[in-house]
Amino acid sequence: MTTHWNHLHEKVSHQLQAIYADVQLDTPVGELATELIHAIGLKQEQDVVVPQAYCNYWDENDIVMITYGDSVINEHERPLFTLFRFLHTYCKNTVNNVHILPFFPYSSDDGFSVIDYSTVNESLGDWADIERIANEYGLMTDLVINHCSSRSVWFDNFIKGEGPGSDYFFTADLEADLSMVTRPRVSPLLRETETRQGTKYVWCTFSHDQVDFDFRNPKVLLAFIEIIRLYLDKGTRIFRLDAVAFLWKKLGTPSINLPQTHEVIRLIRTLVEHVNPSVMLITETNIPNRENLTYFGNANEAHAIYNFSLPPLLVNTLVTGNCRYLKSWMMSMPPAQNGTAYFNFIASHDGIGLRPAEGLLSDDEISELVHAMQNFGGKISWRASEHGQQKPYEINITLFDAMQGTTSGPDKWQVDRFICAHAIMLGMEGIPGIYIHSLLGTSNDYEKVANTGQNRSINRKRWNYNELEAQLDSPHSQHHKVLTRLSQLIRIRKVQPAFHPNATQFTLQMGDEIFGYWRQSLDRKQGVFCISNISNEEQSVLLSDINLIGTDNWIDLISREKIKDVSGFLQLRPYQTVWISNQDFEYPHGL
């Protein structure tokens, strides 16, 4: 066991040398490596786990529901307990992982400006509530690693110039050349702050309440490894590394996606996988597609990356009735090698990010998409471009309302178009993440936008549990219809080996109005043709074009209809999806 520990120590030391190559350290790298290994909870006399390379710790059963801790509330009940009750009642046979968005004390940005990383926001519940959920579901927790709240003890200590945090934050001179820095917001980058050492200008990538850490100081890295250990102890199985692309700053550079950032992620993975190889790291890097892919490393960095290009491309496909851009993007995506996976989502607590569509859609096409979403009640968030111009950064709208119609305006196909979007995502290579407000078919919350003044509030409704229960129990409500149909799709997906996140995928060429791809199970026994009509008109598909083998028995897993003539035509209603398979792994009727 000492040999394994020594090997780990050597690897961590090597990674630290790469991270701090340009930094003068007060502590020798070997000592720092020992501190980090101890902080993650490993001692030399213990049996250090040896992770297996290129191993998939996920399969077709894995579905992640994304939610705030108080997305569902009930009077006189802790929101985290209400969430547990909702999961148990409505999601028990569909969802097996839950991403609870930051559940810590915070000062802004609905949780992403953390005041205290070690406690649960008392308005939500406590650690016992978190552990109750973690005992029955895979818990996904945010590691808000780029910045914290300006109201944190750490930042108070920075102002005082003493105690933990006094040297945790990145500062720059007003005269520094910051012209190359990539900005996701239009607010000034530097925050003027009066400290006991005089006026300091603190780096703030997102807002002046979110002050950025200085990872050139290894104490910051050590503090976050201790936080990771705490979250592991509380049941976390998946870590979402929030805004991690901005972690390392260097003057004279864009201060995004720097080599040191990648090495820090690799170091975190090294430490975590030696504690528990099945724990996952997911990088939240809302950046152009090519840059996003680099966070896989060589299957030694992020286990999964957010497929950020999917939401804008899929929404664009369904409102234009043309899939050529989605198809081209899908063909360009390399298969995730074993040990890595795409994290697919089409809606989240944020909006539909537009940066990942840059280079995939033209400026005119993005403008057309923005205009359509504004017609459906959506809001637009802006960023400053490298030339100082304002560019659309994000569309703020619920996915349900984004599917109201096409670029020609609203129509009668909203629910079918919405279900089609999820059917496409659920069949794709990768692990699906479904936002609670998509699962519920929630509409735009204009009242919350008015109350908060924040565009993102439009997609952050807080449901009263009794009101929601009444809606979900009413067969005629949109919420009942959406939950019923999505739950059926999820249950079907979960028993198909061809929908393993790493199963083979090939894009089909079926014209602009039909989007299709083929999945094949890892053992090559099951194949599924996933075909969607993404237009508002009926479409015919010649089955011989997809080469169904005549000796196999084919069935649409969704409608349960058998394909009797493989040389005939398949008629698809507007926004209908079929999953045509040669093997029928029907889900149990009791689910």
- Annotated active-site positions, please? 242
Kindly report the number of other CB atoms within 10 A of residue 167's CB atom: 13
Provide CB contacts within 8 A for 424, sequence distance 6+: 314, 515, 530, 532, 577
**How far is 431 from 415, CA to CA, in rounded Å?**
23
Residue appearing with tokens 């569902």: 72
Tally of CA atoms within 13 A in the half-sphere of 146 that contains its CB: 25
Distance of alpha carbon 422 from alpha carbon 533, whole angstroms: 13
Tokens 């009727």, residue?
Answer: 589
CA distance 402 to 316: 10
Q: How many CB atoms lie within 10 A of CB 462?
A: 13
Helix (H, G, I), strand (E, B) or coil at 373: helix
Ramachandran angles phi, psi of 487, nearest 5°: -60, -40
Helix residue ranges per DSSP H, 453-555 = 465-472, 478-493
Q: Helix or strand or coil: residue 553?
A: coil
Q: Among candidates 40, 238, 277, which has minimal Cα distance to 142?
A: 238
Of the candidates 376, 383, 342, the residue with the CA atom closest to the CA atom of residue 206? 383
List, in sequence order, every beta strand (DSSP E) within 418-512. 431-435, 463-464, 504-508
Q: Rounded to whole angstroms, how far apart are CA atoms 227 and 239?
A: 11
d(CA 549, CA 557): 17
Alpha helices in 27-126 (DSSP H): 29-39, 79-90
Helix 2-19 to helix 29-39 angle (10° resolution) is 120
Tokens at 400, concatenated: 């349900």
Q: What residues contact residue 438 under an 8 Å CB cut-off, 6+ apart?
A: 346, 347, 398, 399, 400, 418, 422, 482, 486
Which residue's structure tokens are 């029907």?
586
Measure Cα distances from 206 to 171, 191, 271, 355, 415 in Å: 15, 11, 29, 16, 35
Q: Is 241 helix (H, G, I), strand (E, B) or coil?
A: strand
Residues facing residue 190 across a β-bridge: 203
DSSP at 207: B
Cβ contact 568:546 at 8 Å: no
Residues 6+ apart with CB under 8 A from 459: 347, 349, 350, 351, 396, 397, 398, 435, 437, 442, 444, 445
